[in-house]
Amino acid sequence: MKRRLALLALWAALMTPLVQAWWQAQNPDADPDALVAASGTWAMAWLAVAVVMTPLARAWRPLARWLWLRRAVGLAAFAATGVHLWLYVLAMRGFAEPGGEWALIADEAFTPGMLTGWAALALLLPPALASHDGAMRVLGRAWKPVQRLALPAAALALLHMAVVHDGLALALALAGVVGGLQLVRIFPSSRKA
Ligand code: HEM
């Protein structure tokens, strides 16, 4: 029970900047593009944290006792992506005739920038849906591979960031850190803690 409350509190704390972005979007003077960018950056940040927690805990054992918090971080990344998507729909509404935003969204869905975003979202969906004890029991040994879909999702999200964002350098730097830490999964430390 205590753990559930802690997960909920962490999730709520991580969602604070997204709620703020959602709130700002209610203001008619808000800059929708800036809010899409901000929410995307938060989604990327939480996803990057979620996928580096396991390798970091393998490299530095004391962190392992905090790994149960990963569920809140992963679910915050998914929910942040939901807010990002919703703000994108609002931004597209600004360019379209009334009701025409979906046609615009469909039109650009297959450009490299958008396709990588949609694909990342599709890969995040199964681990997010399976992020509870019931799914863990039902899926058994298949649960871990489902959760690992977060890794290709993070790779696609970084690609998405690199393509849509002016600062390719930031996406590359993040890819270096996130990708570099994944090497710990392949080459675990041989030193006994
Ligand atoms: C659901 C499908 C997605 C759509 C339609 C979408 C759409 C967009 C759009 C239109 C932008 C450009 C914002 C701008 O600079 O004006 C953007 C930027 C971005 N998106 Fe997404 N996105 C999606 C999924 C994701 C996912 C899954 C992540 C990460 C978990 C993500 C992270 C980012 C980041 C980091 C940026 C760059 C922000 C910046 O400019 O600083 N997006 N996205």
Residue range of the domain that includes 167: 2-186
pTM: 0.93
Local confidence pLDDT in tens for the 193 residues of the chain: 789 999 999 999 999 999 999 999 999 999 999 999 999 999 999 999 999 999 999 999 999 999 999 999 999 999 999 999 999 999 999 888 888 999 999 999 999 999 999 999 999 999 999 999 999 999 999 999 999 999 999 999 999 999 997 768 889 999 999 999 999 888 776 655 4
Is the distance from CB of 157 to CB of 117 less than 8 angstroms? yes
Per DSSP, which regions of the chain are E strands?
Answer: none
> In which residue are the tokens 């979906």 written?
102
> In which residue are the tokens 């591979």 written?
145
Q: Is the CB of 46 under 6 A from ligand 1?
A: no
Ligand 1: which of 161, 166, 168, 178 to mutate, judged by most atoms within 8 Å of the beta carbon? 161
**Two tokens, residue 169:** 């350098």
Q: Is the CB of 85 under 6 A from ligand 1?
A: yes
Q: How far is the CA of 84 from the centre of ligand 1 (A)?
A: 7
Pick the atom of ligand 1 nearest to 124's CA: 27
In a domain, 191, yes or no: no
Is the distance from CB of 119 to CB of 76 less than 8 angstroms? no
Q: Exposed, middle or buried: residue 18 (CB in 10 Å: 0-12, 13-18, 19+)? A: buried
In a domain, 192, yes or no: no
In a domain, 117, yes or no: yes
Is the distance from CB of 41 to CB of 23 less than 8 angstroms? no
Into how many domains does the chain fold? 1
Q: Is the CB of 88 under 6 A from ligand 1?
A: yes
Q: Is the CB of 31 under 6 A from ligand 1?
A: no
